[in-house]
Chains A and B, each alone.
Chain A
Amino acid sequence: MNDVQVLEAVERYIRGEMNPDERLYFENLRKTNTEVDLLVVEHTLFMQQMNRFGEWQKFRTNLQDVHTNLTETGKINSAKLTGKAKVVYLWNRYKRVAAIAATIAGVTALTVSSLVNTFNPVPENAKVKELVNRVKDLDNRTRQLDTKIENVDKKDSPKPIIATPVRYNGTGFLIDAKGLMITNAHVVKNSRNIFVQNNKGDQFKAIVVRLDIARDVAIIKIDDDNFKQFPSLPYGIRKTNSEIAEPIFTLGFPRNEIVYGEGYLSAKTGYNGDTLSCQIAVAANPGNSGGPVFNHNGEVIGILSAKETDAESTVFAVQSKYIYQALEELKSNSLYKNIRMSPKSSVSGLSKVQQVKKIQDYVFMVKGD
């Protein structure tokens, strides 16, 4: 007998399908062969379980059928909830969901309305106005930024030599040999007294002669007897726009000493497409404001003015042509009628080191209180 036949015999035995002779023979086999005996015990258990399982399944199927049947004939009112029962049912089932949904809806509504208030673009008619005021808006923003930066700087940098507490601190550079300087308007506009300090540590008093807050350009004049006029300036001021990718370098006073920085012109316009300024990539710190931006010829191409707070090395500079404009406007005052600026640079062609060496004496720290 092979395994298949043994199993068949076992199953017939368990079901009681054997005739008396077979049964006698099989029971003898069970007694002599423990393997067969074990198989019978094991298989009985299995068959019992299978039978119960089968009946359980059948009963379940039957219940389903009965349920469907009774529902269809309307003898039980399953899934056909009406009136109060339905309301109670829906309420019980969804009250928690409803509570959560209501909470979420409330929070969302509040959030959305606040977001809308924050980010909603100004409506169409206000846009025209915005165009008019845009420069000013930007300027305001820039100024706030710089004030913040300078406040930080004030805390961190060592105290300057002068006794009066310094509130604003920036950089400026000469545009004529007699002592006219350019810096950012935001550096000096809130100061009563202005001092400039050169790289050797000499301090001179200065006065504001022109303040152009819209362009963020200020012209100040060194008004100090100790100041010795220079014979001429080593650099020129560029009248035309510069090209993207042009290498640039900056000089400034983020600390008590002059600091050199190197980068490139990254965009022809400034923050949010501002055509007054351009974007440069250079490391700039609080105190660099008002400093000159030079191209490789040693020509001033801009005045470093602002830095984007949330982007690294994104710095904006007022384009140099506005220096000419500011000066032109200043010339209406007869005192400054004969000021001439040269677009030509005498350090052009020199190495960076030589250029900086010659230029650095014309760049000053501007301090205001």
Chain B
Amino acid sequence: MKQEINEQALLQGLARNETKAVETIYRENYNSIQALIINNNGSADDAKDIFQEAMIVLYEKVRSGAFELNCQIKTYVYSVSRRLWLKRLQQLNRYSAPVENLESLVPVEDEIEAHEQRNLEFDMMNKAISSLGEPCKSLLEAYYLQKRNMQDIAASFGYTNADNAKNQKYKCLMRLKKIFFSHYKNGTSDE
């Protein structure tokens, strides 16, 4: 019972991206995932990648509010990592032997699919922002991602007043939205 409460607290911390919670989950699960990957034809770098992907899946899951604690974090992370690694192996054509099934597993197919979809979207966003070049990239990141206010931005980017910065930001935003919505439409029409 106590463990369940603990895990619930951890997941809430994870949803808020609290370093302490992330660290705890990381510390308690990483080694077993690394062992899994390395014993199945992977490297330490692969292990890190896969584990972090699994953490993101968990993060998205608890943020969506749909994560009901019907299994331990450990089981969930292991299930996701195993599935992700199998997929990776198949993509790399390195699939050799079925990954041993020592731990209990929960079905994670849907989550992984959603996760892959998100990864695609975020990759696309990342590329779109990078393709803008400077100063647009930094300007938009400062405003929309770091959520700084326009006065602050104008000062640190060397604009004479906030209105100039706003005008520049507006132009940059139009470019980004154009790219974003063209991709977005393409992305949705593909489905």
CB pair B125–A53 under 8 Å, yes or no, is yes
**B132-159 residues at the A interface, CB under 8 angstroms:** 144-147
Q: Which residue of B lies closest to A5 (CB)?
A: B166
Identify A60's interface contact among B43, B56, B170, CB under 8 A.
B56
Q: Which residues of B contact A58 (CB under 8 A)?
A: 17
Which stretch (A41-49, A193-201, A327-335) binds chain B? A41-49
Chain B: minimal CB distance from A124 (Å): 52
Identify B144's interface contact among A3, A47, A66, CB under 8 A.
A47
CA distance A64 to B22 in the complex (A): 11
Q: Would A62 and B44 be within 8 Å (CB), given that A49-B125, A53-B125 are in contact?
A: no
Q: Which residues of A contact B125 (CB under 8 A)?
A: 49-50, 53
CB pair B38–A89 under 8 Å, yes or no, is yes
Identify B47's interface contact among A7, A69, A78, CB under 8 A.
A78
CB pair A78–B173 under 8 Å, yes or no, is no
CB pair A76–B17 under 8 Å, yes or no, is no
Chain B 1-33, CB within 8 Å of chain A: the 1/0 string?
A: 000000000000000010100110011001100
CB pair A77–B23 under 8 Å, yes or no, is no
In the complex, B80 has a CB within 8 A of chain A: no
CB pair A85–B35 under 8 Å, yes or no, is yes
Q: Would A8 and B44 be within 8 Å (CB), given that A62-B17, A70-B30, A88-B38 are in contact?
A: no
CA distance A249 to B23 in the complex (A): 94
Chain B 160-191, CB within 8 Å of chain A: the 1/0 string?
A: 00000011001001000100110000000000
CB pair B52–A63 under 8 Å, yes or no, is yes
**A58-94 residues at the B interface, CB under 8 angstroms:** 58-60, 62-67, 69-70, 75-79, 81, 85, 88-89, 92-93
Chain A interface residue count, CB cutoff 8 Å, equals 38
Chain B 29-55, CB within 8 Å of chain A: the 1/0 string?
A: 011001100111111100110001001
Q: Would A59 and B48 be within 8 Å (CB), given that A69-B23, A92-B38, A92-B40 are in contact?
A: no
Main secondary structure of the interface of A (DSSP, over half): helix
Chain B: minimal CB distance from A63 (Å): 5
Q: Which residues of B contact A65 (CB under 8 A)?
A: 19
CA distance A46 to B167 in the complex (A): 19
CB pair A56–B56 under 8 Å, yes or no, is yes
Chain A: minimal CB distance from B4 (Å): 24
In the complex, B87 has a CB within 8 A of chain A: no
Interface residues on B, range: 35 or more
Q: Which residues of B contact A69 (CB under 8 A)?
A: 23
Q: Would A4 and B166 be within 8 Å (CB), given that A78-B34, A85-B38, A92-B41 are in contact?
A: yes
Identify B44's interface contact among A75, A79, A88, CB under 8 A.
A79
Chain B: minimal CB distance from A40 (Å): 13
Identify B42's interface contact among A56, A77, A92, CB under 8 A.
A92
CA distance A4 to B166 in the complex (A): 7
Given A54-B146, A60-B52, A62-B19, output 15 extra A-B contacts at Cβ < 8 Å. Answer: A42-B177, A49-B125, A53-B125, A54-B145, A55-B17, A59-B22, A59-B55, A63-B52, A63-B56, A66-B19, A78-B34, A85-B35, A85-B38, A88-B38, A92-B38
Name 11 interchain pairs, CB-CB below 8 A, sorted by A. A4-B170, A50-B144, A53-B121, A54-B144, A70-B26, A77-B31, A88-B39, A92-B38, A92-B42, A93-B41, A93-B42
Residues of B within 8 A of A (CB): 17, 19, 22-23, 26-27, 30-31, 34-35, 38-44, 47-48, 52, 55-56, 59, 118, 121-122, 125-126, 144-147, 166-167, 170, 173, 177, 180-181
The 10 lowest CB-CB distance pairs between A and B, nearest first, are: A54-B145, A76-B30, A89-B38, A4-B170, A50-B144, A53-B125, A63-B52, A92-B41, A75-B27, A66-B26
